[in-house]
A and B are shown apart, each in its own frame.
Chain A
Amino acid sequence: MEKFDLLKKVRKVDAPPFLLTRIQARIRRNEAERPPASWQWAGSLAFGLLLLLNALAIKQPATPSGSSDPSESLVQNFQLDQTNQLYVEQN
């Protein structure tokens, strides 16, 4: 396979000398852009706390423990009339 043997003619070349300087500059830039470890810890702690609060809120009953029916407490709080009479003649 004559054409395939052409690959043997490809020579190895040296990497350009300026590459290391560019690589080091990019590494330094990446490190500067990365937030410090303390910020990363604070962020994960805040997120964890948020998850915990959400879990607690879901687990807790939505109504106060005193009354079981929310509409009942609403009627009591607003002193609503529970009859269907629109006009009540008060003595």
Chain B
Amino acid sequence: MPAFLEIYDTHQHLVFNLCLHYLQNRHDAEEATQDVFVKIHAKLPTFQEKSSLKTWIYRIAINHCLDVLKSRRRQKRFAFVLNLLPGQQDNPLDPPDFDHPGVLLEDREALESLFQKINELPENQKTALILRYLDDLSPPEIAEILQCSVKAVESLLQRGKHNLEKKLGDSEGR
């Protein structure tokens, strides 16, 4: 437990902020942070130090957040099907409210729509954008986390930005 406590002290803010960037909801991010640290505690004896501890924690947190997003999409589909059945109209279809404590009130509306567009991107492009522009990681650091080359990360960032620009352009054109 002492080693785990040290890891928690050093990385708690990193994991919580990463979960917030992916899930954009304070309550969900708190839950996800708990899940991530429980996983870290369980997997710690098998950590082989092939990568740095920070990279390993990043991978666990990213995979968990992507799983949460997948389960949200599954729930949404399930609720949609349930809503088609007679007498089952009370199932919520909407994702959780945008509640990011790192966003100022004056920027909330604009950032909510921007995050919405980021959420529509493919998983690897979204991850590259979040790590580069929200977590301020360098392309080599992102490459280590995603286990790919720096060139591949640069290409992901390029495509992610291009797709995001397109989506933003489409929504403004409507």
Contact = CB atoms under 8 A, between A and B. Distances in A.
A80 interface: no
B122 to A, nearest CB: 17
Contacts of A19: 12, 16, 30, 33-34, 37
B12 A15 contact: yes
A7 B133 contact: yes
Nearest to A30: B38
B133 A8 contact: yes
B151 interface: no
Contacts of B161: 1, 4
Interface in A1-57: 1, 3-4, 6-16, 19-20, 22-23, 26-27, 30
B13 interface: yes
Contacts of A23: 8, 34, 37-38, 41
Nearest to B38: A26
Interface residues of B, number: 31
Contact of A7 (B5, B12, B17, B114): B114
A6 B13 contact: no
Nearest to B169: A3
B168 A3 contact: yes
B140 interface: no
Interface stretch (B49-57, B59-67, B88-96, B99-107): B99-107
Interface of A: 1, 3-4, 6-16, 19-20, 22-23, 26-27, 30
